[in-house]
Amino acid sequence: MGIDIIIQNQIHERIGLVYGDAEDTLVKYRENAPTGSILRGLHAHADTMFNTTQLAMLLDEIADALPNNDKEAEMLSVLRDAAETAIRRNGYLWFSGD
């Protein structure tokens, strides 16, 4: 099932579903993220929400990330775009695990 990423605005209105993780790329990637990282904090089977402060930290992690393949590179690009959109809207990213 994977993790869906929902962009919410400041009052938690959904403004977009940006990624259906059918191949579990994000789930697998977060399992190998460093301990203590923002990505490691994603829960694969429940909901996780990041605010703008956490999203700024996530963008730093993404900037330093080294994807192992094209699917990871695409996932990181989508995740970066979603985080930037949420920050511009003073909102949140809601990660909905399966």
pTM exceeds cut of 0.85:
yes
pLDDT score, position 18: 86
- At 28-85, the pLDDT tens digits run 888 888 899 999 999 888 999 999 999 999 999 999 999 999 999 999 999 999 999 9
| Burial (CB count within 10 angstroms: exposed 0-12, middle 13-18, buried 19+), residue 33 | middle
Number of structural domains in the chain: 1
Contact between 13 and 26 under an 8 Å Cβ cutoff? The reply is no
CATH number, position 44: 3.40.1760
Residues spanned by the domain of 65: 3-97
Main-chain dihedrals φ then ψ at residue 33, nearest 5 degrees: -70, 150
Token pair recorded at residue 60: 């730093």
Which residue is it, tokens 């809601």? 94
